[in-house]
Structure 1
Amino acid sequence: MNVLLDFSAEWMGWGLLCLGCLIASNPLRALFISMISGKWETASATILKSEIAEVPDEDGAPMYALDISYEFHWEGETYFSTGRFADLEPFFPSSKPVQMLIEAYRSGDEVPVRFHPDQPQESVLETKFPAHQRLTLALAAGVILAGIWLTGFGG
């Protein structure tokens, strides 16, 4: 009976390790881009749209995000993009944080944009590592540590 319990715990640990790696993949990409995007080329972008997007969560309660798009020019080409970061915009349970973002990114405003010089379609308005991704990465680390403990790698 004890052997079966150990076997199950070890497999559960492997499952948690896989789940933790899956959870960590998007925040690690965002962290990488936030680190390198500060060295990318800079141009002036024009905000085309900056408004509140309302989306229901799984319970039907409203969640709010910034729906933003912008354009910039590089080497005679025009590029269009959406979002402040290289990943999805965070959702908020209140529209107030989004309203503050709209004040910072009003339609028609000229703002600096960073873009990959070899792939200008990859661009960001903010190079910082998003707070919502920090939380997701911390969750992934906890899941991975639990998996390590259950597999027996921890000692």
Structure 2
Amino acid sequence: MTIRRILVSLGLQEELFFYPQFKDNESHHRIETASPGLNTVSLRGAAMSRNLCLTRQCLGLVTRIECAIRPLAGDTGMWTLLFAAGMAGEQPSALKAQGPFPGPNAAESILDTIVQALTLHGYELADDPQIWCLHMQAQLREINGGRCRNVGGFEFRPPH
């Protein structure tokens, strides 16, 4: 799934049309822009949190996106990105997951790219506590439940 598709799945497709200079460079997982100075912004310099909250104010409304990096069940070393998006003070209007990724560093790299793209769209990192963590935990349980049912080790034995 491309960065563009993630933003669209979170309901941010209208913002992409205002910034046609973005292109998703899948091989490097970076957002290249028409302004070279913008490509140097990275959150990886500091220790990147595995929980982030971004907000944007527009016309008196605050849009909120919460992001979390979590390990998947099964001790496989696979990790996932979880997103919850919506209006501040309300229930999230979108819950999405991206992954799996082979380790937390790969997931952090993708999250860094997504955060860079969102900050270019007017979102700011917020120190707010996560208010939708239970929603994201339920999403993770759903993902892990599906993974546990599909993990190998089960044999198909048709009735005789």
**So what's the TM-score if we normalise by structure 2?**
0.25
Considering fraction of residues, name the structure with more helix.
1
Structure showing greater Rg: 1
Taking structure 1 as the reference length, what is the TM-score of the superposition? 0.26
